[in-house]
Amino acid sequence: MPEVSEQEYSHQRLQQVNDALDSGMFVYVRKLLQDMPAYDLALLLESSPTKSRVALWQLIDADHHGDVLEELNEEVRKGILKNINPAKLAAVAEGMDVDDLAEVFRTLPDSVYQEVLNAMDGQDRSRVEAALSFEEDTAGGIMNTDTISIRPDVTVDVVLRYLRLRGELPEATDSFYVVDRADHFIGAVSLSAIVTAKAETIISSLIDKDIEAINADMNETDVAKLFERYDWFSAPVIDHEGRLLGRITIDDVVDIIREEAEHSMMSMAGLDDEADTFAPVLKSTQRRSIWLGVNLITALMAVAVSSMFEGILNQLAILAVLNSLVPSMGGVAGNQTLTLVIRGMALGHIGESNSRILLYKELAIGFFNGLIWAILIASVVAIWQQNLMLGAIIAFAMLMNMTAAGIAGVTVPLMLKKMNIDPALAGSVILTTVTDVVGIFAFLGTATLMLG
Amino acid sequence: MPEVSEQEYSHQRLQQVNDALDSGMFVYVRKLLQDMPAYDLALLLESSPTKSRVALWQLIDADHHGDVLEELNEEVRKGILKNINPAKLAAVAEGMDVDDLAEVFRTLPDSVYQEVLNAMDGQDRSRVEAALSFEEDTAGGIMNTDTISIRPDVTVDVVLRYLRLRGELPEATDSFYVVDRADHFIGAVSLSAIVTAKAETIISSLIDKDIEAINADMNETDVAKLFERYDWFSAPVIDHEGRLLGRITIDDVVDIIREEAEHSMMSMAGLDDEADTFAPVLKSTQRRSIWLGVNLITALMAVAVSSMFEGILNQLAILAVLNSLVPSMGGVAGNQTLTLVIRGMALGHIGESNSRILLYKELAIGFFNGLIWAILIASVVAIWQQNLMLGAIIAFAMLMNMTAAGIAGVTVPLMLKKMNIDPALAGSVILTTVTDVVGIFAFLGTATLMLG
C-alpha cells in the first residue's frame, strides 16, 4: 500500500464528498459524514465554496453540530449561524462546553442572539450568561467550568472511592483542585500523584507547588506564555478573591498559539487571520480594497517624489529606467528586518533593554549589505551605460537606502508598539513608504546635483 | 499594585540580569538565575547579545543546563554548544529526555560529536544512538521512550497496586499502553478510566478506541494534524511490526505548530525560522545577501523591461514618474492572494478538488479590485495631467495587472508545491516578477502604442 499523507487523505475524502453532493447522492453523503470526526467536518466546511456549506451542514448529524461549530474558523461559523434557526441553535448549544458556547454566542448576529437565548432552558441560559461575563481574550473567556474540586483534609482513599462513584471524569482531567469550604483555591493535586500515593495519604501533602492559579482577567497571550514556560497541561482559573472558577486545558492554548502565529503573517499582507479562504468575491473585494487603498497612498507618495525630479527625468531617460531599483532593494532589506523584529517581539525577545543593541546590529547589516550591492550594481551600470558617474550615483543611493531600511525596520515596529498599533498590520506600509521616499530622493536627488 | 503583563515582567528581569552582569556582580546574577525556570533562562539567552551568552551560560546552575538546551532556539543552541567542552556536555546529556538529546546531538558540530559520545557511559550512548536512528522530522524523532505498558488481562486493582509500588509517573502521563508479550501495541487505557473503574475490571475492557498508534516514520506535520483532529494529549508510537516504541506528548506538538506557523512568515521575507534575533552582524549580512541577490534579479528584470521603452520615456517624463504605480499595486494585491493561499495550504483547505474554484474567485477579486483602482487612478491622473488618454492607459494597465496578480497569486504557490519547492520561500519573488513585468509591459507598452 503506498503511503498517503494526512493531507492528501483529507483531500481525497473532500473530493469524494463533493462529488457525491454534486450528483445529489444525499443519503450517501450523510453516511460519509457520519464517520468523520468534528475536526474533519470543520475542515470540509472550510474547504467548500460558500454555497455548498449550508447543504453540507444539514447533512451532518445534529449530534455533531456543537463540536463542529466549535472547531470552525470564525468567519465560516458566522456564515453558517446565519442560516440556522434559533430553536435549532438552542438545542445544539445544550451539549456544548461553556468556553465554546461563549465563542459561538459572541459571533451570533444581535437579532438572533436574544431569540436563541429565549429558546434555551433556564440552566443553559445562565451557563451562557456566566461564560459571556468574561472578556473574549482573557483566561475567563477561554476556561471551562468542568473542574473536580476536593478538600485538603481527606485521604487518597476517599478521593479514589469518590471517583469510582462519580464515574467518567471531564475530558483531559490531569489534576484536581484543592479548595476550602468557601471555594478558595488552595492548590492542585495531579491524578498521577493520587494513583502513586499510599491510600492513607492526606491530600494536602500531595499539592503540586509548580501549578499556580491564573486570574480570570489575564490576557490569553500571557496564559499561553505561562503554559509554555511551565509545560502545563491544564491550569486552574480563579477570581479576584481567589475562588476557583474553572480550568484551562492545553488544547485551548494550542489554538491561541496557532492564531497568534498566523495573525502576524496574515496582518503583514493586510488580511484578517480569521479570513475565510473561500469567502464570497464581493466581500473579499471590499475587504482587500481597504489595504490596497492604503498602499495606493504610499505609491502616490513615491510618484510625488519622482515628479519633483521631472526635469532630470526629461533629460535622461536612463534614470527613469533605473528609478525602481534602489527603492525595490531597500524595501526587501527593510522587510527582512521588520519581519525579524515582529517575530522577536512576539516571542518576547525584544524589549527596552536590548532594542538599542538590535538597532545598531540592523543598522550595521543594512550598511554592509548596502555596500555589497552598491558596488555590484555600480559596476553593472557603469559597464552597461559606459558611465562611471551614473554608477557612483546609484551606489550612493543604494547605500543610503539600505542603511535607512535597517533603521526603519527596527524603529517603525517599536514605535508602533508604543503607540499600541499592531506592527504586523501597519509596519510594512510605513516601512515601504520610508524606503520608497528615501530611495527615490537619494537616487534622483543626487542625479540632479551631479548630472543636472 | 499595577498589573504587569508577562512580557513586561520578563523584560524587567532581563534588564536586571544584564545590569548585574555588566557591573560584574556574578554572584548576584547566579542567584537571580537560580530561581528562573528553564523556559525563562532560554528566553534570557536568546534575548542577549551573542557575546554575553557564554558568560550567562556559565552562571546557570549546571543541573538546569539540559533543560535550557532543550528550550533554546536551534541557532542560539549551536552557538552555546560550540563553547562547552565535550566532557561537560556528556554530563549534561545524562539527565535529558531522549527526544531532546537527539535534537541537541543533531546540532552538534561533527568534530565534537564523537568526542561527546566517547565521554558518555555505555547506557547513555545507546540511548543517543537509538534516538538518532529516526529522521529528525518524524514521529520517531520527537517521541519519548518513557511509556508505561501493561498487559490486557490484568485487573484495575493490579495496575493500581503496581503504580503505588512504582511511585512517580513519567511527566504528562495521561494513559498507559496495553501490549502483548512481544510488545505489540494493543490499545491505550486512560488514567482517568483506571481511577473511575471498579477494582476487578479487566484492563482490556477499558481500552480507549479513540487513541490510535502512530507509525514512527510519520511526518511530524501529520502527527500535529492528528493531535489537533482528535484532541489528543499524548499518543503511542509504534514500529512497522506494531511494536510499542514510545509516546509523543502535546507539548512537543505545540512546538511543531509554532514552528510551522513561524516558518511561513519568516520564509516569505527570506529568513530562516530558526534565525537568532541577535545573530552577529557579519553572519546576518551574509545570509540576507542571498535573498537580496535573488530579489536583485527580479528588480533587474523590471529594469530590463523598462529599458525596452526608453524611447517613449524619453518623450514623456510623466510616464517615468507614474511607472512605479501599476507594478506596486499589482504586487500588493498578488501578495494578498499568495498569503491567503499559503495559509490555506498549511491548514489543509486547498487541494486538487477546490483549487479551480479558488482560482476563479481570486481572478474575480483581482478583476473587480483592478476596476475600482483603475477608475480612481485614471480620474486622478486625467485631472492632474489634463490628459484623458494617459488616464485611460493607466486604467487599462492597472486592470490587466491586478487580474494577473490574482491568477499568479493562486497558480504560483500551487505549481511550486507540485514541484516540491516551498511556496512561502519562493512564492513572493516569483509573484513580484510577474506583477512587475506585466505591470510595466501593460503601462509602457500601451503608452507606446497610443502616444508614441
The answer to whether the beta carbons of residues A204 and A153 sit under 8 Å apart is: yes
The residue of B39, B45, B342, B365 whose CB has the most chain A CBs within 10 angstroms, and thus the best one to mutate to test that interface, is: B365
Question: A235 with A260: CB under 8 angstroms?
Answer: no
Answer yes or no: are the C-beta atoms of B214 and B141 closer than 8 Å: no
Query: For A357, which of B7, B278, B342 is closest by C-beta distance?
Result: B278
CA distance, residue B280 to nearest chain A CA (Å): 8
Whole-number Å distance between alpha carbons of A18 and B372 = 34
Total residue count of chain B as it appears in this document: 452
pLDDT score of A5 more than 70: no
Give me A112's grid cell.
Answer: 438572533
SS3 content of chain B, % helix, strand, coil (to 5): 70, 10, 25
Dump pLDDT digits (tens) for B214-248: 999 999 989 998 898 888 889 999 999 999 999 99
In contact, B278 and A354? CB cutoff 8 Å = yes
User: How far is the alpha carbon of A411 from chain B, nearest alpha carbon, in Å?
Assistant: 15
pLDDT band at residue B2 under the 50/70/90 scheme? very low
Is the predicted ipTM greater than 0.85, yes or no? Answer: yes
Chain A residues touching B349 at Cβ < 8 A: 43, 46-47, 277-278
**Residue of A241, A133, A240, A131 whose CA lies nearest to A182:** A241
HEC string of B59-113 equals HCCHHHHHHHHHHCCHHHHHHHHCCCCHHHHHHHHHCCCHHHHHHHHHCCCHHHH
Average pLDDT value for residue range A224-251 = 90
Give, in degrees to the nearest 5, the angle at Cα A313 between A307 and A314: 110
* Assigned fold of B149-249: CBS-domain (3.10.580)
Residues of B in contact with A250 (CB under 8 A): 233, 250-251, 254
Percent of chain B with pLDDT over 90: 42
Task: Classify domain A6-142 at the CATH class level.
Answer: mainly alpha
Summarize the confidence of residues B251-275 as an average pLDDT. Answer: 86
pLDDT at A4 over 60: no
Q: Extract the C-alpha cell encoding B200.
A: 476487578
Does A299 sit within 8 Å of B321, measured CB to CB?
no
| A149-261: CATH number | 3.10.580.10
Highest-confidence segment of A111-115, A142-146, B89-93: A142-146
Q: How far is A70 from chain B (nearest CA, A)?
A: 12
Domain A281-451 sits in CATH at 1.10.357.20
Tell me the domain boundaries of chain B. Answer: 6-142, 149-249, 281-451
Phi first, then psi, for residue A390 (nearest 5°) are -60, -40
Report, as an integer, the average pLDDT of B249-267: 86
pLDDT confidence tier of residue A3, bands split at 50, 70 and 90: very low
Q: What is the mean pLDDT of residues A250-266?
A: 86
| Least confident span in B254-268, B334-348, B435-449 | B254-268
Residue B314 DSSP SS3: helix
CB contact under 8 A, B323 and A323: yes
d(CA B279, CA B265): 19
Each residue's pLDDT tens digit, B131-158: 788 888 899 988 988 889 999 999 999 9
Cβ within 8 Å of residue B405, ≥6 positions away: B330, B331, B333, B334, B337, B366, B431, B434, B435
Cα–Cα distance measured from residue A252 to residue A259, given in angstroms and rounded to the nearest whole number: 11
* Separation between Cα atoms, residue B332 and residue B323, nearest integer Å: 16
* Beta-bridge partners for A175: A190
Query: For A429-444, how does the pLDDT look when each residue is reduced to its tens digit (9 = 90+)?
Result: 999 999 999 999 999 9
Instruction: Give the best residue of A46, A277, A316, A373 to mutate against chain B (max B CB count within 10 A).
Output: A277
Q: Determine the Cα–Cα distance for residues B370 and B333; give it in Å rounded to an integer.
A: 9
Residues 6 or more apart whose CB falls under 8 angstroms from that of B126 comprise: none
What are A155's strand-pairing partners?
A: A202
